[in-house]
């Protein structure tokens, strides 16, 4: 009995000298398919997709504002569907394809929604603009001929402190018309 207590005491003493306890796993390798390119990063399990995009991947077009899915500034596409990237863990993305505002333009040519936002002055400070563009472009991918109510629904989760909503609606409807031509 004394030997067992002594062995336990030695193990306990050794554990005390190791340092603080580990609370969770370290960063793990994660491959993300971003704008058509597979990118390998080291991500802690708590890292959001928004943090991964802005941090190790250097794609700063995706904005982090509320960091809780309330403002939609961080909107990206996951397999073509608009999604708040601050509410998605990087390790949970898996094989899904991520499209950011940087990947929306093709071959140096702006996406019709991007061009329409410029033409219709659908931005002021620009902080909400990438998320708004991503949601409006996703709408046009799924609804090629939207109504103004469709656009209002698509941007209903977005907060624009500058109040450019009427310009965003006009720009999105103009982009839908431009895509038909």
pLDDT at 3: 54
- The whole-angstrom separation of Cα 35 and Cα 135 is 16
Kindly report, as residue ranges, where domains of CATH 1.10.150.120 are found in the chain: 112-180
**pLDDT tens digit sequence for 120-155:** 999 999 999 999 999 999 999 999 999 999 999 999
- The whole-angstrom separation of Cα 43 and Cα 48 is 9
Q: Determine which of 22-31, 58-67, 80-89, 149-158 has the lowest per-residue pLDDT on average.
A: 22-31
pLDDT at 8: 46
- Residue 169 in 3-state DSSP? helix
Distance between the two ends of the chain, CA-based, in angstroms?
Answer: 88
Cβ atoms within 10 A of the Cβ of 55, count?
Answer: 15
Residues 146 and 140: beta-carbon distance below 8 Å: yes
Residue 83 is given by DSSP the state: E
Question: Is residue 23 scored above 90 in pLDDT?
Answer: no
**pLDDT tens digit sequence for 92-110:** 999 999 999 999 999 999 9
| CB-based contacts of 51, cutoff 8 Å, min separation 6 | 64, 86, 90
Could you tell me what percent of the chain has a pLDDT over 70?
Answer: 87
Kindly report, as residue ranges, where domains of CATH 3.10.20.30 are found in the chain: 28-104
Residues 16 and 78: beta-carbon distance below 8 Å: no
pLDDT at 25: 80
Task: Report residue 58 as tokens.
Answer: 């250097």
Quickly name the fold that domain 112-180 has.
Answer: DNA polymerase; domain 1 (1.10.150)
Task: Report residue 136 as tokens.
Answer: 């409006």
Number of DSSP helices (H) and strands (E) in the chain, helices first: 7, 5
- The whole-angstrom separation of Cα 75 and Cα 61 is 10
Quickly name the fold that domain 28-104 has.
Answer: Ubiquitin-like (UB roll) (3.10.20)
Question: Is residue 21 scored above 60 in pLDDT?
Answer: no
- The whole-angstrom separation of Cα 99 and Cα 53 is 11
């Amino acid at each position: 009995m004394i030997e067992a207590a002594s062995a336990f005491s030695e193990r306990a003493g050794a554990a005390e000298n190791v340092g603080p306890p580990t609370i969770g796993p370290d960063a793990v390798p994660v491959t993300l398919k971003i704008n058509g390119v597979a990118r390998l990063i080291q991500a802690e399990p708590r890292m959001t997709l928004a943090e991964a995009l802005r941090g190790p991947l250097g794609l700063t077009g995706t904005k982090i504002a509320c960091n809780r899915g309330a403002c939609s500034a961080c909107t990206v596409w996951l397999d073509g569907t608009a999604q708040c990237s601050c509410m998605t863990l990087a390790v949970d993305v898996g094989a899904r394809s991520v499209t950011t505002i940087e990947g929306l333009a093709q071959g140096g040519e702006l996406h019709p929604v991007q061009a329409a936002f410029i033409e219709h002055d659908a931005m002021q400070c620009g902080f909400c603009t990438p998320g708004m563009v991503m949601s409006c472009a996703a709408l046009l991918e799924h609804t090629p001929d939207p109504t103004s109510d469709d656009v209002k629904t698509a941007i209903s989760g977005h907060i624009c402190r500058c109040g450019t909503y009427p310009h965003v609606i006009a720009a999105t409807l103009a982009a839908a018309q431009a895509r038909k031509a």
